[in-house]
Structure formats: structure tokens, C-alpha cells
Amino acid sequence: MRRPVQFAVALAALLCMAQAAPRTAAPPLGPQQIYGPLFEAVQGQRIFPDGKTFVDAVPRDDPAVIVEAYRRSRPQGDALRDFVLRHFSVPGFQAPQAQGVRDHIRALWPHLTRPALDSPAGSSALALPAPYVVPGGRFREIYYWDSYFTMLGLKADGQQHLIDSMLVDFESLVARYGFIPNGTRTYYLGRSQPPFLVLMVDLASQPDDPRHLAALRAEHAFWMRGGEQAAATGAALRVVRMPDGALLNRYWDDRPGPRDESWAEDVATARDSNRDKADVYRHLRAGAESGWDFSSRWLEDPRRLSTIRTTDIVPVDLNSLLWRLERGIAGRCATAGDQACARRFDSLAQARKVAIDRWLWQPTAGRYADWDRRTQKATGILSAATLFPLFVGLADQRQADAVAQLTKAQLLGQGGLRTSLIASGQQWDSPNGWAPLQWVAIDGLGRTGHAPLAREIARRWIGTVAAAFRETGKMLEKYDVEQRKPGGGGEYPLQDGFGWTNGVTAALLDRWPDLDPDAPVAPAR
């Protein structure tokens, strides 16, 4: 007789619970709603043969984080598949193991890509309208000359959209500030970096777009600002009058004082110099514009940074790049039908070549050299900058042959191209080697009939990068090419990431796949 009573009590309890519970609970979101554009890309491109594969995958991270990583990089094809396998546990598939250098570089691009930036109030960051790739480590913003070498790797890895996107950013900077700053921070707005924009435009999907030409002309105007004053006084801003009246260029910085990002270091250097502090700061800032911060190229005493005198030096790399810029503008003006512009810039390029051959080419030494305004002669520093005229196409065959011979005899180290022959303790000197200088040398030698030497530099450099990668698991900013290990020296710890090392290594392995240290070895016959 108790059972009906117990049943009634239980039923009443269930009814109370049902009345207390919400009548309709929102159903959980499905993969299409959670992953949005990532879902559409994966399914639309049929990354997996079975459409059920992705929707059954389990995320390895917060879905919002994964979606944001996808929005930053927008990988396609195989890169998208690798992205999914890194971020999800996919039934029947394993995440790619990036043991090899080449796979590691491909996997790094999404991590180094940043979305368009609207700078917060009070931030030192400059706004950028389109996604871009940063070098890595402490370098959390876009940098000028780094980006060209990064783009080489993006090109090799089929990331054309990022190359075009970065050009949008650079041309936005030119439109706002009249030039491309060292990096996209307010404290870099006094200086630029080696002018590689014309070479970046050559990598664009539409290199003859009129917007590119407008930016190139604006950049040239920036570097030649002060030309009339220099013609009268000897030097003004970035322009120098040579003894015969020809105009060449130097590095400079429009702002005075110690650098914001290296304030304590600059104050200490000026204090130790027994020179006018304002003068020391100007030379330090100009050295930063060179990208070679710092190098014996700029020092009176190669072992004392306090003897820096960058603005007294007429550098061969800068003037080679400006010759290439003038040639690039002339060609694009001709294509656009602006013959007056084409004639003007062709004339400027011819005049610059004459001046470089007269003042920077050293026939008895068989090298291109920097020129010292104070001593009125070439400096005695042999550096990898001597290869820039070959890289841009300025050197004739006799000059190229002499530079190739000197490079093989003195600049070629066990692990790649030496930056200079002087162990100054500065990072842009021996024993360090740098990815951009390897590319300049390899590409320049290759285009002037010295392909075997170019390949040998590439082989040694790739071996150094691979050895450090096996030891550290990282791509590094610079390397010791004497002992084939991570590099040293400079104002800050060794950085990893690393944009231009990734780019140059990828481009070299794209050119010579057989140099890949991780490629399977063919069985002996």
C-alpha cells in the first residue's frame, strides 16, 4: 500500500523540478558557428576528403584564440591543413612535426603575422591598415629593410597576399610621413633604413601599379632633401657633395638626442666620448638608420663605439640602393608614358654611377669602399657592403670579377659570408654573418657570372642555420660564421623568430632544393 504513496511523492518532486527548470535551453553552437571563416575555408577548400573529419576535431586551444590566429595569417592549401593539424586533434591525422628547417619556417609565418593595427592612445605604435609580418623577439613591429628579406620567403612559400598587404602598409607610411621609418614606432620617425622599397615592389602582384610609382618618387625625394644646400655647403641632411661636385648620400637622423629605445646606452656612449654629446647622438642615430648598428664601418677606432662618425661616411650600400631606386623609377615612368620623368631619373642614375665609380670603386684593391668626408679618401674597412653594386646590377664585369675574387679570398668563412674582417665586438662585424648580407652576396654573384661561389656561400650558410636550429630549435637573428653557432655582440640579447633569416633560408632552399639539410638522402646505386 505504500508504493502508490511513494510514487506520488516522487512524481510530485519531478513536476516541481520541471517547473523550476528553464523551459528551453539554448543548444550548444556547432563548428560552423564557432569557427566561422576558418570553418568555411577548411570545408570549402576540402582540406580533408571527408567533410565530417574537421567537424569532429577537438581544439587544442581556446577556439577564439584559434580563430584569431587564422584571421591574422589566412593560410591557404597545404599551409591551411598544417594550421588545422597544429591547432586541433583531428581523427585519423597527426599534427605535422616541424623537425626540419623548411617545415619550421612554414609553421612560423602565422606566428609572425599581425593584423591591421589601430594604435591605442598613448601607444608608441604607428597605425597600419593591413596585416604584416614582424621579425620576432623584441622586434614586435614592422621594420623597413628586414621586410624585403622576409618577403623573399613569403614569395617562396606562396604567401603573395602578405607581400601585397605589407606594401599597402609601407605606402601608407609614405603617404602619412613622407618616407618609410626605421620601424613602425613614433620614436623611429626621425630616420629611415636602407631603401629597399623598389625591390619590394618588384615582388608585388602588380609591380606597375601607379601607387607604387608615387611611393617610390616620394622616397627618392626624402633621400635627396637638402640637395641644393649640400651643393653649396658640402653636406646637408642625407646628401653629400663630392669633391667634383657630384651628389651622393649618407645616413642621417632628423631628430637630436639619444635614441628613445636605447637612451641609457647612448648617454653612456656620449659620456665616454669626450666629444660634443649632440654630435655623438647624431652619429649613433645615423648608424641606426644604416641598419648596421653598429659596425667598424662607422668607427674611427674599431674597438670604441664612442668614436662613431657615421655621418662623415658616404656608404656604398646606400648609394647602390639609391641608384637602383632611380633606375626603377625611370623604368616605371617610361612604362607609364611619362618620358620627362623617365629621362630625369635615368640621368640621375647615370650621374650616380659615374660618382660611385669615381669615388667608391677602388681599382687597385678590387673592391667598392665607403668614402670618408674628413680624410677625403676611401676607408680601409673591407665589408660585405662591397657586394651591393653587384646585387643591384651597377657593377660591370671587370668590377664584379674583382669583388668575387676578394670575397672568396677574404670574406668567405666556414659558415657563410663574414660581415667584415674586424672583430670589434659590434654585432655588424666579424665573426657574425647576417641573412640579408648572404642574400645580397649570393644574388649579386649569381647574376654576374659567379654561380659556383654563390652556391658555395649558400651551402655554408644553410649548414650554419641548420646546425643552430638542431641545437636550439630556433631561427636566429644572426650567426657566428667562424664557429657555425649563434651570433653575439651588440646592444641586446640574441633574438629568435626570425623574419629575415626565415625569408632568406626559404628563398635559398627554393632556389637549390638539394641543399636542404633535411631532405631524404637518395640511396646509393
- Tell me if 271 sits within 8 A of 176, measured CB to CB: no
Distance separating alpha carbons of residues 368 and 359, to the nearest angstrom: 9
Pairing of strands 416-417, 412-413: antiparallel
| Sheet containing strand 247-249, strands side by side | 235-236, 239-241, 247-249
Distance separating alpha carbons of residues 142 and 184, to the nearest angstrom: 6
> What is the reported pLDDT for 52?
85
Distance separating alpha carbons of residues 71 and 108, to the nearest angstrom: 15
Q: Which of 136, 101, 156, 107 is nearest to 466 (CA)?
A: 101
Q: Which of 154, 150, 133 is nearest to 142 (CA)?
A: 133
> What is the reported pLDDT for 519?
79
Cα 116 → chain centroid: 18
CA 11-17-18 angle, to 5 degrees, is 90
- Tell me if 221 sits within 8 A of 327, measured CB to CB: no
Residue type for 517, please? P
Distance separating alpha carbons of residues 31 and 187, to the nearest angstrom: 44
Give 155-167 as a DSSP string. Answer: HHTT-HHHHHHHH
Task: Using 70 as the pLDDT threshold, list the residues of the chain that sit under it.
Answer: 1-25, 94-99, 521-525
> What letter does residue 42 receive in the DSSP assignment?
H
Q: Which of 476, 380, 379 is nearest to 432 (CA)?
A: 476
Distance separating alpha carbons of residues 374 and 479, to the nearest angstrom: 33
pTM for the complete prediction?
A: 0.83
3-state SS track over 394-407: CCCHHHHHHHHHHH
Q: Which of 189, 190, 208 is nearest to 198 (CA)?
A: 208
- Over residues 235-286, the pLDDT tens digits come to 999 999 999 999 999 999 999 999 999 999 999 999 999 999 999 999 999 9
> What is the reported pLDDT for 108?
93
Helix axes 160-177, 144-156, angle to 10 degrees: 160
Residue 24: partners with Cβ closer than 8 Å, 6 or more residues away = none
β-strand partners of 89: 58
> What letter does residue 293 receive in the DSSP assignment?
-
Distance separating alpha carbons of residues 442 and 452, to the nearest angstrom: 10
> What is the reported pLDDT for 522?
55
Question: Which residues are known catalytic residues?
Answer: 293, 477
- Taking CB atoms within 8 Å and a gap of at least 24, the contacts of 94-100 are 99/518, 100/516, 100/517, 100/518
> What is the reported pLDDT for 25?
64
Cell of 427: 654585432
β-strand partners of 314: 371
- Over residues 161-183, the pLDDT tens digits come to 999 999 999 999 999 999 999 99
3-state SS track over 434-477: CHHHHHHHHHHHHHCCCHHHHHHHHHHHHHHHHHHHHHHCCCEC
Distances in Å between the alpha carbon of 230 and those of 249, 358, 361? 10, 19, 22
